[in-house]
Amino acid sequence: MNLMRSYAYKAIKRYVGKALHHYEMIADGDKILVGLSGGIDSFTLLWILNERKKRILIDYDLIAVFVDPGFDDQFGKKLETYCKANEFHLIIDRTDHGLQAHSTKNRENPCFLCSRLRRKRLFEIADKYGCKKIALGHHKDDIIETFFLNICYSGEIGTMVPSQSFFKGKFQIIRPLAFIEQETINRFAKEIGFPIFTNPCPSANSSKRNKIKSLLTELYKSNKKIKGNIFNSMSNVNTEYLLT
């Protein structure tokens, strides 16, 4: 495949560059932990950050980390094989986070607990390996969906942001794919030939996020401008017309 002719590659290259520049996400000498889930979003993130190193002046190191939730040991092994073949530095951290989240002691929201435990573990691993920045593969659609998740299930207005500081500046979470739509990532993943792994999580197809995703998909069908308007509205808030 000739990447120079790929619309998806050009779009990802452009919008990742825009996000990195606008939010000053990466500096020379950075050591960056890349959260790798085995999905095409995180594969795209790792691939583009690794490819970008070859054509820019600043230098940075990447360490991919897969926090294994404990469902299926074969998933981690396949991921490890793929990363070795492509010379990605991968660390696999085996946990029981997914099993804890789906235990009888946590019937309310397994996704929330699993995510919180995984995030905590990523901070610990980043600290261990001297990574001040943690890159996650959330994209434009994820940010919009999180906005609606918070409204519908948490009763608050807020979402994930492209760059966020934690623990008084000790760590910074960055989301270089923040301006890129899922459809573009899907197209790029198919062109590159990323492996497809089946998510072993029992909540994979029945989460609250999937319900929001289905709702938004129907909404987008009625007007192609809706997605862009929702995304833009999150940085164009008229506080005079909000309840206080």
User: Could you tell me the fold of the domain covering 3-241?
Assistant: Rossmann fold (3.40.50)
User: Which helix (H) or strand (E) element contains residue 173?
Assistant: strand 171-174
Residue 107 has pLDDT above 90, yes or no: no
pLDDT attached to residue 1 = 62
* Lowest pLDDT segment from 38-47, 83-92, 186-195, 204-213: 204-213
pLDDT attached to residue 47 = 96
Greatest Cα-to-Cα distance within the chain, rounded to the nearest angstrom: 55
Burial track 148-178 (b if 16+ CB lie within 10 A, e otherwise): bbeeeeeeeeebbbbbeeeeeeebbbbbbbb
Residue 75's pLDDT band, with cuts at 50, 70 and 90, is confident
**Average pLDDT over every residue of 56-85:** 89
Residue 7's pLDDT band, with cuts at 50, 70 and 90, is very high
Would you call 217 helix, strand, or coil by DSSP? helix
Q: Give the integer Cα–Cα distance in Å for 121 and 127.
A: 10
Residue 206 has pLDDT above 70, yes or no: no
pLDDT attached to residue 55 = 87
Rounded to a whole number of angstroms, the CA Rg of the chain reads 18
Here the tokens at position 23 are 């939010």
Position with higher pLDDT, 182 vs 56: 182
**Average pLDDT over every residue of 166-175:** 96
Supply the mean pLDDT for the chain: 92
Q: Give the integer Cα–Cα distance in Å for 163 and 22.
A: 10
Task: Give the pLDDT confidence of 110-133 residue by residue, as tens digits.
Answer: 888 888 889 999 999 999 999 999
Would you call 16 helix, strand, or coil by DSSP? helix
90-94 and 31-35 as β-strands: parallel, antiparallel, unpaired?
Answer: unpaired
Sheet of strand 90-94: strand arrangement: 90-94, 61-68, 31-35, 133-135, 171-174, 163-166
Here the tokens at position 130 are 């001297």
90 dihedral zone (left: phi>0; alpha: psi -120 to 50; beta): beta
* Lowest pLDDT segment from 81-85, 110-114, 203-207: 203-207
Residue identified by tokens 């299930």 is 153
**Average pLDDT over every residue of 190-213:** 85
> 174 near 23, Cβ under 8 Å?
yes
**Which of 101, 120, 36, 113 shows the shortest CA–CA distance to 75?**
36
**Which of 39, 40, 59 shows the shortest CA–CA distance to 49?**
59
Sorted by where each begins, the domain ranges of the chain are 3-241
90-94 and 163-166 as β-strands: parallel, antiparallel, unpaired?
Answer: unpaired
Residue 14 has φ and ψ, to the nearest 5°, of -65, -50
- Secondary structure letter of residue 188 according to DSSP: H
Would you call 221 helix, strand, or coil by DSSP? helix
pLDDT attached to residue 110 = 80
Q: Give the integer Cα–Cα distance in Å for 152 and 119.
A: 23
